[in-house]
């Protein structure tokens, strides 16, 4: 059993330890002199030889075992030592070569750039001389900032890991109210995607994209998904705040990749939620974080400028804070069609209730009264009221929902909103 373990090459410290310490159960032959030595003492020379030979065999067996153990322990030691050495080493910086400076015929210096945008004038190690080009990824020592190694970083950013790409199932029918908004979206996004020739004939250029603005939960994302569904377009969703927070140093690259993904998956709709996180008017504080947001934003503008209005890609951006948006994003030729998605009136709310109660088991519920009692509720809150009403029925052990459930639910959703506001504003 132990022998079998020794034959297998241990690939981790734990497995080696297991092998070494399991040797405790090996039966070491006891070759010490027995107590009744006198009685067992070989009498003849042949017996003596035989005894010595058997002792010799046992000793050599144990010697072999000890040698194997020693080599295992040595391997464990070397591995642990190697790991310790690695832990002691300082981390290296990953940078990109901006330019190689050929001074005095020696390409031994380079301007390098870190992902945060900081640039350095770095020395190139002797063995890398003449082997580096602008755009290469390299490792630099933290203290001296000297370039010590060239590395291959995959340039193909796996953009699909960072954005949501789907073919949405939401249809126009699932949107309550918002009639005019739906019509406008159909005109500016759906029609040019479905019938670009018509626009060519008439001789007008549709907008490249639109900006949906309005309070939270009013259905901006839902509208964007419904357009994607009706045009059978790929829906690529990205959240502005994530672009600037999660991908520090990579935001601009990610924007570029998102647009190239859209070209590959066209027809496509790029939905940028919370665009204000990227495109807010900036105060010139000039921190590196600010510069990073600004670079990402500039890349977005460049991408918007770079595609055709009658192509098969459209951009829909959404924000709750149109008041802080940078004008550059809504200039003609960019997201120059602003569509307000506001809170619905009573008639609109009734339609939203109809959408969300369509599959609910209602009994004598006058949705009109409920719509009347939910002034200033957003679509998302109306959906929450419907779900809560269902829960009130379940708690009462009923399988149908009555008007009272809705009023209790309205109260609950309203209270939750107030509590949240108090929590935020103190
Ligand atoms: P935010 O600004 O917070 O991102 P939003 O305006 O994008 O919000 P959505 O995410 O589209 O809002 O809405 C959330 C959910 O609320 C939707 O999935 C849908 O169930 C419901 N909803 C909102 N508006 C409507 C509507 N007009 N009709 C039907 N359902 C709606």
Is pLDDT of 14 > 70? no
Assigned CATH topology for domain 346-425: Helicase, Ruva Protein; domain 3 (1.10.8)
Q: Average the pLDDT over 263-287 and give the result.
A: 79
Nearest atom in ligand 1 to the alpha carbon of residue 175 is: 28
Of 363, 419, 418, 352, the C-alpha closest to 386 is: 352
Q: Is 122 helix (H, G, I), strand (E, B) or coil?
A: strand
pTM reported for the whole predicted model: 0.66
- Candidate ranges 34-43, 187-196, 327-336, 380-389; pick with highest mean pLDDT: 380-389
CA of 176 to the centre of ligand 1 (A): 10
CA of 220 to the centre of ligand 1 (A): 6
Instruction: List, in order, residues 6 or more apart from 367 with CB less than 8 Å away.
Output: 350, 353, 354, 357
Question: By mean pLDDT, which of 26-30, 121-125, 344-348, 407-411 is the weakest?
Answer: 26-30
CA of 280 to the centre of ligand 1 (A): 23
299-324 tens-digit pLDDT: 888 888 887 776 788 999 999 998 88
Mutate to test the pocket of ligand 1, among 217, 340, 358, 371 (most ligand atoms within 8 A of CB): 217
Mutate to test the pocket of ligand 1, among 179, 182, 221 (most ligand atoms within 8 A of CB): 221
List, as one string, the DSSP characters of 160-202: GGTSEEE-----GGG--S-HHHHHHHIIIIIHHHH-HHHHHHH
Pairing of strands 106-113, 119-123: antiparallel
- Give the model's pLDDT for residue 10: 47
For the chain, the straight-line distance linking the first and the last C-alpha, in angstroms and rounded, comes to: 69
Model confidence band, residue 336 (pLDDT cutoffs 50, 70, 90) = confident
Is pLDDT of 272 > 70? yes
161-190 tens-digit pLDDT: 777 888 889 999 999 989 999 999 999 999
Q: Express as a percent the part of the chain with pLDDT over 70.
A: 82
CA of 293 to the centre of ligand 1 (A): 27
Is pLDDT of 288 > 80? no
**Pocket of ligand 1, beta carbon within 6 A:** 175-178, 216-222, 273, 318, 320, 352, 355, 379-380, 383
Q: How far apart are CA 360 and CA 364, in angstroms?
A: 12
Hey, which CATH number is domain 160-340, 3.90.1150.10, 3.40.50.300, 3.40.640.10, 1.20.1440.230? 3.40.50.300
Return the residue whose CA atom lies nearest to atom 1 of ligand 1.
216
Where in the sequence of the chain do the CATH 1.10.8.60 domains occur? 346-425
- Give the model's pLDDT for residue 78: 95
Where in the sequence of the chain do the CATH 3.40.50.300 domains occur? 160-340
**Residues, the chain, total?**
426
- Give the model's pLDDT for residue 8: 46
Return the residue whose CA atom lies nearest to atom 8 of ligand 1.
217
E runs forming strands in 224-293: 234-239, 268-273
- Give the model's pLDDT for residue 424: 58
Q: Average the pLDDT over 371-378 and give the result.
A: 91
Model confidence band, residue 137 (pLDDT cutoffs 50, 70, 90) = confident
- Give the model's pLDDT for residue 293: 77
Architecture of the 64-153 domain: Beta Barrel (2.40)
Q: Average the pLDDT over 378-395 and give the result.
A: 94
């Amino acid at each position: 059993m132990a022998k079998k373990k020794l034959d297998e090459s241990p690939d981790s410290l734990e497995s080696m330890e297991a092998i070494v310490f399991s040797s405790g159960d090996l039966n070491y032959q006891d070759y010490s002199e027995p107590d009744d030595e006198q009685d067992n003492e070989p009498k003849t020379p042949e017996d003596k030889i035989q005894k010595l030979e058997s002792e010799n065999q046992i000793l050599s067996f144990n010697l072999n075992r000890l040698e194997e153990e020693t080599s295992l322990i040595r391997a464990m030691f070397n591995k642990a030592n190697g790991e310790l050495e690695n832990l002691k080493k300082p981390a290296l910086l990953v940078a990109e070569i901006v330019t190689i400076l050929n001074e005095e015929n020696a390409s031994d210096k380079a301007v390098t750039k870190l992902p945060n945008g900081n640039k350095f004038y770095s020395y190139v190690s002797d063995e890398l001389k003449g082997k580096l080009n602008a755009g290469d990824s390299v490792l630099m020592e933290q203290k001296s900032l000297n370039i010590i190694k060239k590395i291959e970083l995959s340039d193909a950013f796996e953009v699909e890991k960072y954005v949501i790409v789907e073919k949405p199932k939401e249809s126009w029918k699932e949107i309550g109210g918002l009639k005019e908004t739906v019509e406008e979206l159909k005109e500016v996004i759906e029609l040019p995607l479905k019938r670009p020739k018509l626009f060519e004939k008439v001789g007008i250029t549709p907008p490249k994209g639109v900006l949906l603005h309005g309070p939270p939960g009013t259905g901006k994302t839902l509208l964007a998904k419904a357009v994607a569904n009706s045009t059978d377009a790929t829906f690529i969703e990205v959240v502005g705040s994530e672009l600037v927070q999660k991908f520090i140093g990579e935001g601009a690259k990610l924007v570029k990749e998102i647009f190239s993904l859209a070209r590959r998956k066209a027809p496509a709709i790029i939905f940028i939620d919370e665009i204000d996180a990227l495109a807010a008017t900036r105060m010139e504080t000039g921190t590196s974080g600010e510069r990073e947001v600004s670079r990402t934003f500039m890349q977005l503008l460049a991408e918007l400028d770079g595609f055709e209005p009658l192509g098969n890609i459209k951009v829909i951006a959404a924000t709750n804070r149109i008041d802080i948006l940078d004008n550059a994003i809504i200039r003609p030729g960019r997201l120059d069609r602003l569509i307000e998605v506001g809170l619905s009136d009573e008639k609109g709310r009734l339609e939203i209730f109809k959408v969300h109660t369509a599959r609910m088991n209602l009994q004598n519920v006058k949705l009109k009264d409920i719509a009347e009692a939910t002034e200033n509720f957003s679509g998302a809150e109306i959906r929450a009221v419907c779900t809560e009403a269902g829960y009130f029925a379940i708690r009462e052990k009923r399988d149908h929902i009555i008007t009272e459930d809705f009023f209790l639910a309205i109260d609950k959703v309203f209270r939750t909103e107030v509590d949240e506001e108090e929590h935020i504003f103190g």
